[in-house]
Chains A and B, each alone.
Chain A
């Protein structure tokens, strides 16, 4: 049995505001960007700054508030799609930088906006199987390095950031049963085409798979296809998750979905029939930081008192893969 003990987050120093974006893309005003996306500011890493740097900074915030945890952590799981290297994994580098035990189980996994919920599932499983008792789950992304500077659609949405969560063994099961959804047939709708070993193979397919995309080494996002995917599968995923736990929205205090953008969240809330007062939207400061958005929204809601200790919170992440996951946790 396991629970979330603490969450911390970290943003890089430099920011990209709507005013700056409107200067770069004069056909959009700052007002229109915030009206449509709900995002005012995204944080962007410096050229030499990496996901490892951000993740370590987030984890150090946890160890600063609870120094004893550094020696207790026996598992380190690192979620990133923008690792410092193809080889080795960020988790091993983070183990060294953070001064964690050399007995720690440490590995990376590659997932996008469903990554945090998956991370909770992995941590929960490692604890349940007795392989670890205190997991440091890091999510860290530097998507800004993957964006085409001329692609207005993605630059208005995505920002960089990192989070650290301690998941620990507990007397009561405070992390519930998970629901998952995967559809690899639609993987090409959110992809960096020339980013791995399949580059040569993809060159034969890209005209049909990603028509209109100009920078094959940068992120391609078919926004309407991703939006349709969320409208089609997220309501069912959430219902499946609640059915497994025999819960309804009456039993749940808050819903924190992946903070893609305000437009998507507003429409998902309506389609899922989630009471407005239980629905957390936190995109204004930071934007879409991929696997980081759920823990950032959780941490801020805890800091502000919106979410209190003991609350039941439904989490749902969805995106790259295409992949989605949901779970109910008691904070």
Chain B
């Protein structure tokens, strides 16, 4: 599941496929903005049939932090 998440996040962030490993700080992506969060919400809704914890997401520092929030 995490692999699928990483590939989906690559598409959302408009970065090359198979480049994310999870340790990247979110601040290094210029496309990590409010629109990216909306796209992530759609991914979580479609894949896990649940909402994304927006308050927790606001504290996420890395890609792995985002995965932890989604997979909980």
Contact = CB atoms under 8 A, between A and B. Distances in A.
Interface of A: 27, 36, 153, 211, 222-225, 227-228, 231-232, 263-264, 267, 271
B38 A223 contact: yes
Max chain A CB contacts within 10 Å: which of B37, B38, B54? B38
B15 interface: no
Contacts of A211: 58
B69 interface: no
B21 to A, nearest CB: 25
A263 B35 contact: yes
Contacts of A27: 30
Interface string B34-65: 11011101100100000110100110000000
A222 B42 contact: no
B30 A228 contact: no
Contacts, number: 33
A223 B34 CA distance: 7
Chain B contact patch, size range:
10 to 19
Contacts of B51: 228, 231-232
B15 to A, nearest CB: 15
Contacts of B35: 36, 263
Contacts of B39: 263
A231 B45 contact: yes
Nearest to B45: A231
Contacts of A225: 54
20 contacts: A27-B30, A36-B35, A153-B34, A211-B58, A222-B54, A223-B34, A223-B37, A224-B34, A224-B37, A224-B41, A224-B52, A227-B38, A228-B52, A228-B54, A231-B42, A231-B45, A263-B35, A263-B38, A263-B39, A264-B38
A271 B49 CA distance: 11
A263 B51 CA distance: 17
A160 to B, nearest CB: 22
B22 to A, nearest CB: 21
A192 B18 CA distance: 43
A224 B45 contact: no
Contacts of B57: 224
A267 B40 CA distance: 12
A27 B36 CA distance: 14
A225 B52 CA distance: 9
B62 to A, nearest CB: 18
A322 to B, nearest CB: 14
A227 B45 CA distance: 11
A223 B41 CA distance: 11
Contacts of A231: 41-42, 45, 51
Given A211-B58, A231-B42, 18 more contacts: A222-B54, A224-B34, A224-B38, A224-B41, A224-B52, A224-B57, A225-B54, A227-B38, A228-B51, A228-B52, A228-B54, A231-B41, A231-B45, A232-B51, A263-B35, A264-B38, A267-B42, A271-B45
